[in-house]
Amino acid sequence: MADLSALSIKVAAIYSERFGAPQTAEFALLKMTEELGEVAGAHLRLNGQGRGTAELGDLADEIADLLGFLLVFAARTGVDPAAALTRKWGAHLPDPQRD
């Protein structure tokens, strides 16, 4: 996940430079909200419940955008997403599987 986080931070810096977007946690959080809506829209179109059509690749692209901004948000708030997921979700696994 560290590689994905590093990739996301690099792309966010390019985005910031190109469009003048602030490199803040708040901006990343707002972009996550925007991207979640785009994930929902692509899912609805893919399943015939939205206007227009979508391909699975469209949904994958929107999920990638959401994940990218989530990783940027985590970095800007000092959260290690792998450690947080392991701690929070791993707590529900039987003891031998908690590695």
Nearest Cα neighbor of 69 from 16, 18, 14, 5 is 5
Say how far apart CA 8 and CA 59 lie, in whole Å.
18
3-state SS class at 3:
helix
Q: What is the DSSP letter of 92?
A: T
The pLDDT tens digits for 15-74 are: 999 999 999 999 999 999 999 999 999 999 999 999 999 999 999 999 999 999 999 999
CATH class as words, domain 2-97: mainly alpha
67 contacts 9 by C-beta, under 8 angstroms: no
Q: Is the pLDDT of residue 98 over 70?
A: no
Say how far apart CA 83 and CA 40 lie, in whole Å.
27
Locate the domains of the chain by residue range.
Answer: 2-97
